[in-house]
Chains A and B, each alone.
Chain A
Amino acid sequence: MVLDHDEADDLVQEVFIKIWNNIEKFREDSQLYTWIYRIATNECLNFLRKKKNRYFIPIHDVQAELTQKLEDSSYIDGDEIQLKLQKALLKLPDKQRLVFNMKYFDEMKYEEISEITDTSVGSLKASYHHAVKKIEEFLSHD
């Protein structure tokens, strides 16, 4: 989601520290896996939101920065078309990109994503369907 290895590393550490500090608040009304996943996705979306708001950076600049990271990062190992798919994903709003990653790459069920993101299954299906259309449109034209 954040594309940069160092930023992803920071986020992973933050997530586990948050889990450690809040484990007593885990109410067991969901699976531990779901709870951890929810903390991680919230942390990630908050990070991206703060990045966009910081110094009043316009959204397209953050998008351009992330696209640049895709091209420059030494921790990316994919062919041209896979890189193009990742660039297409950057055109999506963050939450829609998150839903797409969970469904397409992590192959999670809509019910699981629903529990983690606190979004109805119907909305997730519509969001994923819409995302696929946008990605295919980008891949066909650019």
Chain B
Amino acid sequence: MKLEDIKKKNIYTVPDNYFDQLPTKIQSRVNEKTPVFRIKLSWSLVFKVATPAFAMIMILFYFGLKNNNTYESADEILSQVSSQDLIAYLETTDITTDEIIEEIDFTDVELDFYEDGSIMQDIEMNKDNINTLLDEYGIDTDIL
């Protein structure tokens, strides 16, 4: 069956007056203000809280400087794993090829696909060959 055989129609509907009520609903949510809590501060309270906090920051800063251990980011760790190991890992997971492709940024990538979805690479074809293939697969040149 071809897509053209199906009558194009948006089958999704909304309740009556949905769009009439929508602006009011959005406006009421926009107008919702988060409650503001006011705390009356006294200098003695500030002093009581600030002194231990300052001491704690200084202790953490001191031990932080002494600690020479560096932590690797996820990117750094992954860069040490070979592509083969990554492929082997991905093959053992439930992640599908489509999901992996979905995560790839194709912004600067131009891909051509075979009929079965595999990617064409570095194929040199003259115009006649391309036209023969297009005719064979019944591909409309307007979509290319």
Contacts and interface: CB of A to CB of B under 8 A. Distances in A.
Given A118-B107, A126-B112, A139 B94 contact: no
Interface in B108-144: 108-113, 115, 117, 139, 143-144
B112 A77 contact: no
A130 B113 contact: yes
B111 A75 contact: no
B89 interface: no
B66 interface: no
Given A95-B102, A133-B115, A140-B1, A76 B108 contact: no
Contact of B1 (A16, A59, A123, A136): A136
B91 to A, nearest CB: 17
Size bin of chain B's contact surface: 35 or more
A5 B15 contact: yes
Interface stretch (B3-11, B35-43, B50-58, B71-79): B3-11
Interface stretch (A26-34, A35-43, A82-90): A82-90
A46 B110 CA distance: 25
Nearest to B116: A133
A76 B3 contact: no
**Chain A interface helix/strand/loop/mixed:** helix
B98 A93 contact: yes
A133 to B, nearest CB: 7
Nearest to A86: B11
Interface residues of A, number: 42
A5 B14 CA distance: 7
B139 to A, nearest CB: 8
Given A119-B106, A125-B143, A136-B2, A75 B14 contact: yes
Nearest to B2: A136
Contact of A123 (B2, B18, B30, B110): B110
Nearest to B18: A9
A45 to B, nearest CB: 9
11 contacts: A5-B14, A17-B30, A77-B11, A82-B11, A95-B102, A118-B107, A120-B108, A123-B111, A126-B111, A126-B113, A136-B3
Given A3-B12, A5-B15, 18 more contacts: A5-B14, A9-B18, A58-B94, A76-B12, A76-B13, A81-B6, A82-B7, A93-B102, A94-B102, A95-B102, A120-B106, A120-B107, A120-B110, A122-B109, A123-B107, A123-B111, A125-B144, A129-B113
Across the A-B interface, give the 3 residue pairs with the lowest CB-CB distance, nearest first: A78-B11, A123-B106, A122-B110
